[in-house]
Amino acid sequence: MNRIFITLLLVVSSFSLMGQHVVINGFVTDSLNGETVIGASVYNKVSKQGTFTNSYGFYSIQVPVGKSVVTFSYVGYRSKTLELHLKSDTTINIQMDVNTLKEVVVQARRDETGVQGVHMSAVTIDVDKIKSLPVIMGETDVIKTLQLLPGVKGGTEGSSGMYVRGGGPDQNLFLLDGTPLYNVNHMLGFFSAFDANAIKNVTLYKGDFPARFGGRLSSVVDVYLKDGDNSKIHGEGSIGLISSKLFLEGPLFNKNTTFAVSGRRTYLDILTKPLIAMARKTEPNLPDVGCYFYDLSAKVSHKFSDKDKLFFSGYMGDDVIYFSMPIESSFNSKTFFNTNFYGKNAVSAVRWSHIVNSKLFVNTSVAYTGYRSDVRVSYKSETNGSYAFMPLSIGYDNLNKALTMKTRIEDWSIKFNLDYTPNSKNRVKIGTNLLYHSFVPTINTTISLGSMAIDTTIGGRTIIAKELNSYIEDTYTFNDRWSANGGVHYSLFNVQGETYHSLQPRASIRYLLSDNFSVKAAYSNMSQNIHLLSNSRVGLPTEIWVPSTKRIPPTISNQYAAGLFYNLKNLYDISIEGYYKTMDNLLEYKDGSSYFDVANTSWEDKVVMGKGWSYGAELLVKKDIGATTGWIGYTWAKSERLFNRPGQELSFGNVFPDKFDIRHSASIVISHKFSNKFDVGAVWVYSSGKAGTLALQKYQIEQPEKTSEIDYVGMRNNYRYPDYHHLDLSFNWHKKIKWGERTFSIQLYNVYNQKNADFVLDVLDDNDNKAFKKITIFPFIPSFSYTIKF
């Protein structure tokens, strides 16, 4: 491996010997708070060549000796142009000024993924935009904003599930400062784990994956936390309908050390407790139910010198859901049926970034990420006001048990990446990543609490897996018109004595038809070694992460994409992309299997493997400049599955639509700034119906011992839900106050109270007639929040 690495370095270094050039390098930062700017454009008008800052705000560009006119630009900031006469390598750190007019608030990386850039199928969302859009109950949500982009679908309404270009919810790699986060949901998936206050930058890749990314088939969500203001301590606090949060950032001890800390907690449980207690006075059998979550993210950065920086970033979040229902009462005691869910999420990483020389930037990190969930079902007896856990016996055989179910995944990783700019035509990235996975897919413990206690533990076997990922990619500029990015990602996954190798080529190419019109094409091969087993796909705590094993090989995909990119009057970015994606070794539960199926079978016996494919076209028109900004997106897509391997058939081995095979979807996202004191956000989303499985016929079978009534399911996902749509509005009033600014926001979710069908079911009505019903989770919901920046 080392030999290959050195050879590659020598090859790309040889380019630098050609011609008389010097190198400019440095960091691009925000002039107000010192935050590094990710993805800023650095362009030399003389040589007509450019580059972009990396994830640490670092850039390196080779320019001819003599005169250069270099422009630094990023949306939301005033561009800076420097006229330089260079004879030797130079370090120039740029501080960019925020555009105080705040005219531009959202931006796909126009240069890198827009008309001029070589990449496609990637979008960066500005955090301010995320905060300004209307959301359910005032809780700003990164993932819900990403769901508004073409090619991305949410799961059940209001949930933070993501289905990108026909892929499943486990096919998205969520990176928090470069470290994977396994569970990105709070409160059963209705809120995402990312607190927008703490975030600096969010980029979504849904195709054309650079070789540095791997491990998931369908998308990469690359989230970077704020480093912290290096000039003064300040923050932001807000109170909303269901949560409060606080964000603080600033220098720690001196300007070279900064911190950024963010925390939030929901208090729905506290708010509902007195209401439930009051209602129980008249209806004593009402269940006591509640849930809350809290999370905390922190980042500390220390600058040893212009060349060396150290970062520590961490995230932790807890979810608690409880449900307690009285099931039996006597004159002095009550017995409750209880269900409790605990979810814990943690990520921590230490990174060291080092500038070796003007062309070489190195980043090394050690990280931990883990997720665990515990579900406990038990009984509790309340006697004269005092509580005591007790077994239920007394003849109810099915109740005579308590149950706990646990699942866990933990990773330790070491990562080494370098950015190398050998010359003005090449930008090279090389890296390697070693991971140590520990999985406990399920531990099911059943305790019989009758006269003879029996403790039965099923599963609980820890699976250890080791993974190595290495990559090399190069962005090469042929000439003014042609540019390409190519690379390869290698993955080695060792589990249960089996080793899976995967060499994944990636390529993209761009041809400029004119300065504002280009055509691009891309190919990505991806491999995924870990999988999420999910019954209902709504982020329930019943989801478990499992690795590829001896019996379950990695999932693989191939995605082909092409598109046209056009910039109209420097105001509108218009793109149309088409894609075709194949997926193999997809995992699904067998018919009738579930997390709760705790018979003596392992999870591997509960799943089947098959393949899928999806294709579609995406249109995006967005406007980033002016008082009115936003985008219109439209997607036409199709996604199907085929599970026909012998013994692993689903839907009788025939092709069936994926649950989120949604043919048409559209979104209109608009922000309008009336003044510095008042702005409005509006989101309208529409999609044709998702697929669901209904037994459309019923029949009777005369068996030897009895007559059975049977539901007939002709095909999986044979029913189309009604079309889905809603309009959300937000109104934000800002006011300067003595020590900062306060913002009062009103958010109206589902303004016209569209009763979307989140679930359908057939029930018997009061007259014992069959009735078809829909359940709407989110009707019209108003909410508010009050935020103070200081």
Partner 1 sequence: MFIKIDNIFSSKLFFVLLLVELISACESDLKFNGEQSKSLLVISSFVSPEDTVKVHVSLSKFFLSNSSYTDVDNAKVDLYLNGQYAATLTHISEGNYFTTTKAHPADVVRFKIESTKYGVASCESNVPILLDKSSIQSKCDNNFFYLSIMDDASTENYYRIVGKQKTEYYTYNLNKTKKMEMVWNMDLKLKNSIENDQLTQFGKTDSYPLYFSDKSFNGKMVTLKLESIGLFSEITYDSVSNVKSFVSTQDTLDYTILDSIRYDIDIQSITKDYYLFIKTSKLVEDKLYLLEPVQVKSNITGGIGILGAFSSLRVSKTWIPNEK
- Binding to partner 1 (CB under 8 A) within 645-704 occurs at 651-652, 693-704
Q: Which is nearer to partner 1, 335 or 348 (CB)?
A: 335
d(CA 20, CA 79): 28
First to last CA, the chain: 51
- Residue 592 interacts with partner 1 (CB under 8 A): yes or no: yes
Smallest gap from residue 628 Cβ to partner 1 (A) = 32
Q: Which amino acid is at 529?
A: N
Smallest gap from residue 337 Cβ to partner 1 (A) = 7
Looking only at Cα atoms, what is the longest distance across the chain? 95
Nearest Cα to Cα of residue 465 among 490, 498, 491, 443: 498
325 in helix, strand or coil?
Answer: strand
> Which residue carries 């989230």 as its tokens?
223
Site string for partner 1, 404-443 (x = CB under 8 A): ----------------------------------------
* Residues 539 and 161: beta-carbon distance below 8 Å: yes
CA 159 vs CA 485, 509, 537, 542, 763: distances in Å: 35, 36, 10, 15, 25
Smallest gap from residue 666 Cβ to partner 1 (A) = 20
Q: Which is nearer to partner 1, 289 or 668 (CB)?
A: 289
Q: Which is nearer to partner 1, 282 or 398 (CB)?
A: 398
- Residue 99 interacts with partner 1 (CB under 8 A): yes or no: no
Judged by CB under 8 A, the chain residues 595 through 654 that form the site for partner 1 are: 595-601, 651-652
DSSP 675-691: ETTEEEEEEEEEEPPPE
* Listed ranges 212-220, 243-251, 284-292, 563-571: which one lies at the site for partner 1 (CB under 8 A): 284-292
* Residues 520 and 565: beta-carbon distance below 8 Å: yes
Site string for partner 1, 717-736 (x = CB under 8 A): -xxx-x--------------
Smallest gap from residue 589 Cβ to partner 1 (A) = 5
Site string for partner 1, 446-485 (x = CB under 8 A): x---------x-x---------------------------
Question: Given candidates 304, 387, 389, 396, which one binds partner 1 under the rule CB under 8 A?
Answer: 396
Smallest gap from residue 272 Cβ to partner 1 (A) = 6
Residue 721 gets which letter from DSSP?
A: P
Question: Given candidates 29, 49, 426, 593, which one binds partner 1 under the rule CB under 8 A?
Answer: 593
d(CA 348, CA 315): 6
* Residues 704 and 749: beta-carbon distance below 8 Å: no
d(CA 566, CA 579): 18
Q: Which is nearer to partner 1, 154 or 541 (CB)?
A: 541
Q: What does the buried/exposed string (b/e) look like for 336-347 if buried means 16 or more CB atoms within 10 Å of the residue's CB?
A: bbbbebbbbbbb
Q: Which two tokens stand for residue 330?
A: 């006597």
- Residue 397 interacts with partner 1 (CB under 8 A): yes or no: yes
Smallest gap from residue 643 Cβ to partner 1 (A) = 11
Q: Which is nearer to partner 1, 414 or 775 (CB)?
A: 775
* Residues 345 and 314: beta-carbon distance below 8 Å: no
Smallest gap from residue 378 Cβ to partner 1 (A) = 9
475 in helix, strand or coil?
Answer: strand
Q: Which amino acid is at 306?
A: D
Nearest Cα to Cα of residue 484 among 501, 461, 509, 519: 509
Question: Given candidates 110, 401, 408, 690, which one binds partner 1 under the rule CB under 8 A?
Answer: 401
Judged by CB under 8 A, the chain residues 15 through 54 that form the site for partner 1 are: none
Site string for partner 1, 300-319 (x = CB under 8 A): --------------------
* Listed ranges 117-125, 285-293, 518-526, 615-623: which one lies at the site for partner 1 (CB under 8 A): 285-293
> Which residue carries 């007939």 as its tokens?
712
CA 169 vs CA 51, 146, 526, 725, 770: distances in Å: 33, 14, 16, 21, 34
For 389, counting Cβ atoms within 10 Å of its Cβ (0-12 exposed, 13-18 middle, 19+ buried), the class is exposed
- Residue 399 interacts with partner 1 (CB under 8 A): yes or no: yes
Q: Quote the distance between the C-alpha of residue 257 and its chain's center.
A: 29
Judged by CB under 8 A, the chain residues 538 through 557 that form the site for partner 1 are: 538, 540-542
CB under 8 Å to 513, separation ≥6 — which residues?
Answer: 519
> Which residue carries 């990543």 as its tokens?
433
- Residue 183 interacts with partner 1 (CB under 8 A): yes or no: no
- Residue 713 interacts with partner 1 (CB under 8 A): yes or no: yes
Smallest gap from residue 159 Cβ to partner 1 (A) = 10
| Backbone φ, ψ for residue 12 (5° rounding) | -70, -25
Judged by CB under 8 A, the chain residues 734 through 763 that form the site for partner 1 are: 755, 757-762
Q: Which is nearer to partner 1, 305 or 767 (CB)?
A: 767
Smallest gap from residue 594 Cβ to partner 1 (A) = 5
Smallest gap from residue 50 Cβ to partner 1 (A) = 49
Nearest Cα to Cα of residue 98 among 72, 75, 128: 75
CA 492 vs CA 468, 489, 554: distances in Å: 5, 10, 11
Question: Given candidates 714, 738, 742, 752, which one binds partner 1 under the rule CB under 8 A?
Answer: 714
- Residue 535 interacts with partner 1 (CB under 8 A): yes or no: yes
Smallest gap from residue 391 Cβ to partner 1 (A) = 13
Smallest gap from residue 709 Cβ to partner 1 (A) = 8
* Listed ranges 61-69, 202-210, 221-229, 535-543: which one lies at the site for partner 1 (CB under 8 A): 535-543
d(CA 165, CA 223): 20
- Residue 712 interacts with partner 1 (CB under 8 A): yes or no: yes
| Backbone φ, ψ for residue 777 (5° rounding) | -80, -40
* Listed ranges 228-236, 423-431, 564-572, 778-786: which one lies at the site for partner 1 (CB under 8 A): 778-786
Question: Given candidates 306, 308, 515, 591, which one binds partner 1 under the rule CB under 8 A?
Answer: 591
Smallest gap from residue 727 Cβ to partner 1 (A) = 18
* Cβ-based neighbour number of residue 10 at 10 Å: 9
* Residues 148 and 234: beta-carbon distance below 8 Å: no
- Residue 779 interacts with partner 1 (CB under 8 A): yes or no: yes
Question: Given candidates 61, 187, 221, 298, which one binds partner 1 under the rule CB under 8 A?
Answer: 187
Q: Which is nearer to partner 1, 493 or 643 (CB)?
A: 643
d(CA 708, CA 688): 36
- Residue 277 interacts with partner 1 (CB under 8 A): yes or no: no
Q: How many residues bind partner 1 (CB under 8 A)?
A: 94
d(CA 125, CA 724): 24
Question: Given candidates 328, 410, 498, 584, which one binds partner 1 under the rule CB under 8 A?
Answer: 328
- Residue 377 interacts with partner 1 (CB under 8 A): yes or no: yes
